[in-house]
Amino acid sequence: MTESTVPTALWNRGAPDIESAVYDCRQVFAEELAALARRDPRVVAVCNDSVGSSNLVAFRTEFPDRLINVGIAEQDLVGVAAGLANAGMIPFVSAAGPFLTGRALEQIKADCAYSGQKVVLCGQSPGMAYGELGPTHHSVEDLSWLRAIADLAVLVPTDREQTRAALRWAHATVGPAYLRIPRFKVPDVIPPGAPCEPGRALTLRQGDDVTVIAIGTLVSRALDAARTLAGEGISVRVLNTPFVDPLDDDAVLAAASETRAIVTAEEATLSGGLGAAVASLVGQHHPVPLRLLGVTGFAPTGSTGFLLEHFGLTADGICRAVRSVLSPAVRESQP
Amino acid sequence: MLTADAAVVDHYRDLRRTVRDGHPAHALQELRSMSTAVRLRIVNMIDQAQLGHIGGDLSVTDILVTLFGTVLDVDPDDPHAPGRDRLILSKGHCAAALYATLAHCGYFPVSELATFMAPLSPLNGHPDRRKVPGVETNTGPLGHGFPVAVGCALAATIRDETWRTVVVLGDGELQEGSNWEAAMTASHYGLTNLTAVVDRNRLQQGARTEETKALEPLAAKWKAFGWEVREADGHDHAALIDALKPASTGKPLVVLAYTVKGKGVSFMEDQAEWHHRVPDKRQVRAAIKELSR
């Protein structure tokens, strides 16, 4: 999309105060799922012994017949959901991100996407939310795996507002979708009422020098970095793409032509996620200098906060990436 | 999406009415004729495509013909009716048998079978629900159909609806762990509206199941997983009709249908090499002659 179609209110509103309270999104996931279930008798929750970790205890109390727990069996989990969808239910599958996507990858492909079954796959605690538990429990490959599957929407909500919007969109749409439900606490950064639609990015801050495209936990950090860089005279555009697939090609290509460079930031591996999607698009249509921030290799031991620092997935890391991506351009502009 | 063949649908409805009145001899003869017609189609389809899983197709034919011919409450004119019975062919490599059966029940014109696996045909080598009416879920990789069938049966239970779900499993397929995950879920939720049929031909792609990774004692395994177990000759329509009557024990039902891989073509019967071998022209003629008797 072009800038002119973005509601100006979104970027004129100004950046939020990141010193304000932070929230994990699992509570709003549970609240919104229950709200959808109250309105629509087709909504069912399907989980794998994850009633507690998916925040579904209250859902089970309110809708005892509409909470299916298949036990520790992820292939069964996704297959059962596809069967429920076949019979006209709207299953919301909730399980830890790494196991939902990795163990049931073929079921996601064959039973949901290729079969055209409307299943909403909710990967809980994605990225490196289970920091110290190690790479077996990190869901950083999910975006790469699922982006490669046709006819499956891939969403990474950022905060409470976008999580709610993503669930509502997934409920209302026709086909299957994967939603990453953040556990790492972030402030409210998405303006109320902001659209959450396929192929539609949000310009959260206008800027002319560099565009930072950020998703999930990195959005508030990108806004923080943009404020810091503004003090250095660097004007940063902050673009949020709640849909990693389908991406907003127009907004990304507009950023490539209107700003001098692009930095992407995601709590995911660089092998196939947001950065790879942006690089592929820009490289084919409008090459500009790029810096991709994300996870490389298997993470060392450490908390989520430590690991985000380790991989440069912080406001400081984004600042460094912006300065470095600009430096050749800056040199060229000097006599 | 393919559309129903009206003339065949009428004939199909008559057949079902007759069999439901207690499978009289002439109705069973109709089912046998349909099985023969389906087997002849399978040989022709595989000959034409020069691809296919002929051994398993001929093994599962009588099971599919019995199900679509009489047992299932489905309407080829309205293949997506919400209250229809669901049939899921988990052994999706036997798509030819499913397509031929669906065509002979009127889901789409029999002439369409000639496009099997041809470029841009809706009849892919494995079933595609977005292109072929009567296909409930896309199978092919083994171990997928059973969990989907459990989800269908759960949906009917949640909504207090009376329709039934049947899943047809290959016996070699039972080596996939996802089936046993599904078997546990089905018995845990007491899905009396779910029936599994195992095409027990004792052969898989490379060798006998018992040489590859033994399944026996298979009935005891299903019983231990909380299922009512019945056994039947998988080539006897009357026996299958009786075995497929809904369970009354409060448990999901499994029918171990004892079959012969390559059934009906003597030189293919019970031979592992005919899992997906394509017959040459002389063998095609011999098979057609034998099946036409």
At B217-259, the pLDDT tens digits run 999 999 999 999 999 999 999 999 999 999 888 999 999 999 9
C-beta atoms of B148 and A86 within 8 A: yes
Please report, for residues A26, A55, A166, A314, the alpha-carbon distance to residue A41 in angstroms, rounded to integers and kept in the order given.
22, 20, 19, 42
C-beta atoms of A76 and B185 within 8 A: yes
**Taking chain B, what is the end-to-end CA distance rounded to the nearest angstrom?**
35
Cβ–Cβ < 8 Å for B63, B199: yes
C-beta atoms of B138 and A83 within 8 A: no
pLDDT band at B163 (very low <50, low <70, confident <90, very high): very high
Cβ–Cβ < 8 Å for A220, A177: no
* Closest-CA residue of chain B to A71: B185
Give the strand pairing for A290-295 and A202-205. Answer: unpaired
Amino acid residing at A89 = M
Rounded Cα distance, B104 and B102, in Å: 5
pLDDT of residue A12: 37
pTM of the model: 0.93
Please report, for residues A14, A257, B64, B87, B206, the alpha-carbon distance to residue B67 in angstroms, rounded to integers and kept in the order given.
64, 61, 5, 8, 28
C-beta atoms of B158 and A44 within 8 A: yes
- CB–CB contacts below 8 A, A to B: 107
A80 → closest Cβ in B138, B139, B154 = B154
C-beta atoms of B151 and A84 within 8 A: yes
Query: Touching check for B141 and chain A: CB below 8 Å?
Result: yes
Rounded Cα distance, B4 and B108, in Å: 4
Residues of B in contact with A84 (CB under 8 A): 151-152, 154-155
Strand (E) or helix (H) holding A93: strand A90-96
Query: Touching check for B187 and chain A: CB below 8 Å?
Result: no
* Closest-CA residue of chain A to B138: A115
Is cis: bond before A246, omega within 30 of 0?
A: yes
- Measured at the CA of B94, the angle between CA B89 and CA B98, to 5 degrees, comes to 60
Residues of A in contact with B151 (CB under 8 A): 79-87, 91
Rounded Cα distance, B241 and B259, in Å: 15
Instruction: Give the gap in angstroms from C-alpha A269 to the nearest C-alpha of chain B.
Output: 28
Query: Touching check for B82 and chain A: CB below 8 Å?
Result: yes
pLDDT of residue B7: 82
B96: its two tokens? 């030819």
C-beta atoms of A84 and B152 within 8 A: yes
Residues of B in contact with A77 (CB under 8 A): 147
pLDDT of residue B24: 84
Residues of A in contact with B189 (CB under 8 A): 68
Interface test with A, best of B181, B187, B193 (most A CBs within 10 A): B181
Residues 102-121 on B with a CB inside 8 Å of A are none
Q: CB neighbours of A32 closer than 8 A, spacing ≥ 6?
A: A163, A164, A167, A168
Residues of B in contact with A110 (CB under 8 A): 138-141, 144
Give the neighbor-by-neighbor strand order of the sheet with A120-124.
A67-69, A43-47, A90-96, A120-124, A177-181, A153-155, A243-245
B243: its two tokens? 């075995």
C-beta atoms of A76 and B178 within 8 A: yes
Rounded Cα distance, A241 and A263, in Å: 13
Model ipTM value: 0.94
pLDDT averaged over 10-residue windows placed end to end, chain A, 335 residues = 37 43 89 98 96 92 97 97 98 97 98 98 95 95 98 97 97 97 90 96 97 97 98 98 98 98 98 97 97 97 95 98 83 47
Residues B34-63: what's their mean pLDDT?
97
Cβ–Cβ < 8 Å for B111, A40: no
State what percent of residues in chain B have pLDDT above 70.
Answer: 100
Instruction: Give the gap in angstroms from C-alpha A288 to the nearest C-alpha of chain B.
Output: 40
C-beta atoms of A76 and B182 within 8 A: yes
Residues of B in contact with A86 (CB under 8 A): 86, 136-137, 148, 151-152, 155
DSSP A139: B
DSSP B88: E
Q: Between B281 and A329, where is the model more confident?
A: B281
A234: its two tokens? 């660097």
Residues of A in contact with B148 (CB under 8 A): 79-80, 82-83, 86, 111
Instruction: Give the gap in angstroms from C-alpha A137 to the nearest C-alpha of chain B.
Output: 21
Instruction: Give the gap in angstroms from C-alpha B79 to the nearest C-alpha of chain A.
Output: 13
Cβ count within 10 A of residue B199: 29
Q: CB neighbours of B14 closer than 8 A, spacing ≥ 6?
A: none
Q: CB neighbours of A224 closer than 8 A, spacing ≥ 6?
A: A15, A18, A315
Query: Touching check for B129 and chain A: CB below 8 Å?
Result: yes
Instruction: Give the gap in angstroms from C-alpha A138 to the nearest C-alpha of chain B.
Output: 24
Cβ–Cβ < 8 Å for A44, A90: yes
In this model, does residue B101 exceed pLDDT 50? yes
C-beta atoms of A110 and B177 within 8 A: no
pLDDT of residue A10: 43
pLDDT of residue B267: 97
Residues 18-57 on B with a CB inside 8 Å of A are none
* Closest-CA residue of chain B to A110: B138
Torsional class of B231: left (φ above 0), alpha (ψ -120 to 50), beta (otherwise): beta
Query: Touching check for B191 and chain A: CB below 8 Å?
Result: no
Q: B262-265 contacts: CB < 8 A, separation 24 or more?
A: B262/B54, B262/B55, B262/B58, B262/B59, B263/B39, B263/B58, B263/B59, B263/B61, B263/B62, B263/B235, B264/B36, B264/B39, B264/B58, B264/B61, B264/B290, B264/B291, B265/B43, B265/B58, B265/B290, B265/B291
Cβ–Cβ < 8 Å for B175, A62: no
Please provide the size of chain B in residues.
293
pLDDT of residue B6: 86
Residues B73-88: what's their mean pLDDT?
96
A65 → closest Cβ in B158, B177, B178 = B158
Q: Where are the alpha helices (DSSP H) in chain A?
A: 8-12, 26-39, 57-62, 74-86, 97-102, 105-107, 142-147, 160-172, 218-230, 249-258, 274-285, 304-310, 315-333
B57: its two tokens? 């197709």
B141 → closest Cβ in A65, A84, A110 = A110
Positive or negative: CA dihedral B232, B238, B240, B245: negative
pLDDT of residue A9: 38
Burial classification of residue A144, based on how many CB atoms lie within 10 Å of its CB (0-12 exposed, 13-18 middle, 19 or more buried): buried
C-beta atoms of A111 and B147 within 8 A: yes
B155 → closest Cβ in A87, A110, A111 = A87
Instruction: Give the gap in angstroms from C-alpha A75 to the nearest C-alpha of chain B.
Output: 6
Please report, for residues A90, A120, B156, B290, the alpha-carbon distance to residue A84 in angstroms, rounded to integers and kept in the order given.
7, 11, 9, 43
